[in-house]
Amino acid sequence: MPPLPPPTCVPPSDLLTFPPSLIPLFTPYLPTPPSPSHPLPFLTLTFATSLDSALSLGPGLRTVLSGPASKAMTHFLRSRHAAILIGVNTTLADDPSLNCRLPSPSGTHTHPRPIILDPRARWRPTPDAKVLALARAGHGLAPFVLVAEGTAVDAGVRDVVEGHGGRYIAVAVGEGGRFAWRNVLGVLQGEGLESVMVEGGGEEVVDAVVLTVAPTWVERGRAAARVEGGRWIPLGEDVVLCGRLKKD
Ligand SMILES: NC(=O)C1=CN([C@@H]2O[C@H](COP(=O)(O)OP(=O)(O)OC[C@H]3O[C@@H](n4cnc5c(N)ncnc54)[C@H](O)[C@@H]3O)[C@@H](O)[C@H]2O)C=CC1
Ligand SMILES: Nc1nc(O)c(N)c(N[C@@H]2O[C@H](COP(=O)(O)O)[C@@H](O)[C@H]2O)n1
């Protein structure tokens, strides 16, 4: 494969808009650099959930819960984190892009490094996988895939990922074949990645949370009902949603 182009801004048709006036709201929760008292990468837990706590319509179904404004907010977070981490089921279900789709004033872009937790090497991408196609075009970075020590990775699959600038990294697993989150953060630290946004998981090492709640209920396979024109009212440390229900 020819050398990869330098990361650039994504094509204008893919761009999202995040108003600069909103940045101060999120600034207190953005990553801080590692310090002697907090040497591991900063971990932000972020995901979007429905009112009935669903992340998607069902296993293997890519589901849009976030509206355009909160989606743009997560891309602002992507612009401020060195890495973005997902599990292999999400990779298989969503064929995600995992790049940053906000305009970049300088024309060059710092996309987050995608990290995929795939202990048993179940992801078998072709060059058509979105995350690889974007890396090839210079509109994102190829992923680092964390596999369990001793797991054999198909040579052809490894070539595809590494040919796009990605890597396979072997990590020790504990009982149940899972990585300890501190080990995952240790790997990222070793790769010079100082902050990571995790789309679900990592509870024991979380530094900040930025969660989106979409005013909708889902039932297996379909969006069931939505609150329209609702209002979220902060009351103490809770937030109360008032609205009228629009049924399908
Ligand atoms: N609404 C949202 O913000 C998000 C929605 N999703 C949705 O969630 C669904 C997938 O979620 P899940 O099934 O929970 O799967 P997942 O994407 O978290 O993948 C689970 C798999 O990842 C690996 N994994 C996760 N943690 C690990 C650890 N500590 N050590 C080793 N391996 C680990 C294992 O292979 C595990 O089977 C998809 O439908 C996706 O669209 C996913 C992320 C965000
Ligand atoms: N913030 C948010 N809102 C939703 O409604 C979602 N479904 C997700 N999903 C996560 O974002 C990834 C998709 O990213 P790309 O748009 O393909 O870059 C997906 O894989 C989930 O991790 N997030």
Tell whether 186 and 90 lie within a shared domain.
Answer: yes
**What is the CATH classification number for the domain harbouring 104?**
3.40.430.10
Tell whether 237 and 210 lie within a shared domain.
Answer: no
Pick the atom of ligand 1 nearest to 179's CA.
Answer: 30
Phi and psi torsions of 229, nearest 5°:
60, 25
pLDDT of residue 194: 97
> Does some domain include residue 32?
no
> Does some domain include residue 239?
yes
Tell whether 132 and 244 lie within a shared domain.
Answer: no
> Does some domain include residue 70?
yes
Tell whether 194 and 226 lie within a shared domain.
Answer: no
Tell whether 100 and 203 lie within a shared domain.
Answer: yes
Tell whether 89 and 170 lie within a shared domain.
Answer: yes
Tell whether 152 and 140 lie within a shared domain.
Answer: yes
Tell whether 189 and 232 lie within a shared domain.
Answer: no
DSSP string, 64-107: --S-HHHHHHHHHHHHT-SEEEEEHHHHHHH----S--S--TTS
pLDDT of residue 9: 66
- Ligand 2 centroid to residue 163 C-alpha, Å: 25
pLDDT of residue 34: 92
**How high is the mean pLDDT in each 10-residue block of the chain (248 residues)?**
66 85 96 94 96 88 91 95 97 96 74 98 98 95 98 98 98 94 97 94 87 88 80 95 82
pLDDT of residue 175: 87
pLDDT of residue 46: 96
Indicate which ligand has the atom closest to the C-alpha of 205: 1
pTM of the full predicted structure?
A: 0.94
Dihedral angle over CA of 241, 22, 67, 76, nearest 10: -130
Tell whether 140 and 242 lie within a shared domain.
Answer: no
* Cβ–Cβ < 8 Å for 205, 42: no
Tell whether 130 and 205 lie within a shared domain.
Answer: yes
* Cβ–Cβ < 8 Å for 17, 72: yes
> Does some domain include residue 42?
yes
> Does some domain include residue 25?
no
> Does some domain include residue 31?
no
Residue type, 3: P
- Ligand 2 centroid to residue 150 C-alpha, Å: 30
Tell whether 191 and 232 lie within a shared domain.
Answer: no
> Does some domain include residue 66?
yes
pLDDT of residue 92: 96
* Cβ–Cβ < 8 Å for 173, 146: no
pLDDT of residue 11: 75
Full domain range(s) for residue 234: 217-248
Report how many domains make up the chain.
2
Ligand 2 within 6 A of CB of 91: no
> Does some domain include residue 5?
no
pLDDT of residue 32: 96
Ligand 2 within 6 A of CB of 89: no
Indicate which ligand has the atom closest to the C-alpha of 145: 1
Does ipTM surpass 0.95 in this model?
yes
Tell whether 136 and 172 lie within a shared domain.
Answer: yes
Indicate which ligand has the atom closest to the C-alpha of 16: 2
* Cβ–Cβ < 8 Å for 3, 89: no
